[in-house]
Structure 1
Amino acid sequence: MMYGWNGGWGVGAWVLMALMMLIFWGGVVTVVILMLRRGQASEAPGASGAPHDEAERILNERFARGEIDETELAARRAALRRKQ
């Protein structure tokens, strides 16, 4: 028999090593998921981008509601695009 083999831990060392690996890889997966979610949140519409994108979105909404007609929509959209 090999008394004292593995520092006296026996099978417990293998169990501890397996648990530590699960914790490690679980942490890696958690970090990756959080980073991916953070990236998606920053790409949300209206969260970032040029102000004219938001203005065009508002123009499109006003046109859809019937507040402005097609000629006014085209004129305002052209004015916004000239300011870029």
Structure 2
Amino acid sequence: MMWWDGNMGAWGYILMVVSFILFWGAIIAAIVVFARSMSGGNRRDGGGHSLGSAEQLLAERFARGEIDETEYSARLSALRRARGA
């Protein structure tokens, strides 16, 4: 019969630390995913704009008078060409 003296050894401690980190990492990741799914609405990821929001931004600049009609038309056609590419 084998007797266990309570010493896990180095591999036991390493496995315990790794499993502890993985467990809490999974808990934190689940909380983050849940929080992101519960926050609704339009969100910009990474500061980038999609082509739809780029067209909207361009229309807002035109409405404010920052750009004229020829520049608006030129940029709008460039955006639509980029969408097709």
TM-score tier by shorter-chain length is 0.3 to 0.5
Query: Which structure has greater helix proportion?
Result: 1
TM-score w.r.t. the length of structure 1 is: 0.42
Please give the TM-score of this superposition, normalised by the length of structure 2: 0.42
Q: Which has the larger radius of gyration?
A: 1
